[in-house]
């Protein structure tokens, strides 16, 4: 398994501001992903964080709104830009470990954002 640390764990933000969420993993990983879990909803994949290159975004998500960095194998950031109340969600970092089994992902505890 792995310890996945996300910061902040929660925050209350003002409309129009931006917030960066950090994800640090204590093990070697091959893949890192960012998911969003809106209130009462399931998880939706935002993007795959690629080391040293631009993230791969899913349909409906764009780099200008959710810029992502991954400077090394074990660290990534997600920024939620120009926030609106609709961005109030839990944002989760997820990883696949090096040598891990097919399809199995590990999740951080999430960052709960409330936008006023």
Partner 1 sequence: GNSVTQMEGPVTLSEEAFLTINCTYTATGYPSLFWYVQYPGEGLQLLLKATKADDKGSNKGFEATYRKETTSFHLEKGSVQVSDSAVYFCALSVNQGAQKLVFGQGTRLTINP
SS3 content of the chain, % helix, strand, coil (to 5): 5, 50, 45
| Residue 61 binds partner 1, judged by CB under 8 A | no
3-state secondary structure of 98: coil
Q: Do the beta carbons of residue 4 and residue 107 sit within 8 Å? A: yes
> By CB under 8 A, how many residues form the interface with partner 1?
23
Q: Are 63 and 54 in contact (CB under 8 A)?
A: yes
Residue among 63 and 109 whose Cβ is closer to partner 1: 109
Sequence-distant (6+) residues with CB within 8 A of 41 are none
Site string for partner 1, 18-57 (x = CB under 8 A): -------------x-x-------xxxxx--x-------x-
Nearest approach in angstroms of CB 40 to partner 1 is 9
| Interface contacts to partner 1, rule CB under 8 A | 4, 31, 33, 41-45, 48, 56, 92, 94, 96, 101-110
């Amino acid at each position: 398994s792995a310890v996945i640390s996300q910061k902040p764990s929660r925050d209350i933000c003002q409309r129009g501001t931006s917030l960066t969420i950090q994800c640090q993993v204590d093990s070697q990983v091959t893949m890192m992903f960012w998911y969003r879990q809106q209130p009462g909803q399931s998880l939706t994949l935002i993007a795959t964080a690629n080391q040293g290159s631009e993230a791969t975004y899913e349909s409906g998500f764009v780099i200008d709104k959710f810029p992502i960095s991954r400077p090394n194998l074990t660290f990534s950031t997600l920024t939620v830009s120009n926030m609106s109340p609709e961005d109030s969600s839990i944002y989760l970092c997820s990883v696949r470990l090096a040598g891990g089994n097919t399809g199995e992902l590990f999740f951080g505890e999430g960052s709960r954002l409330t936008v006023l």
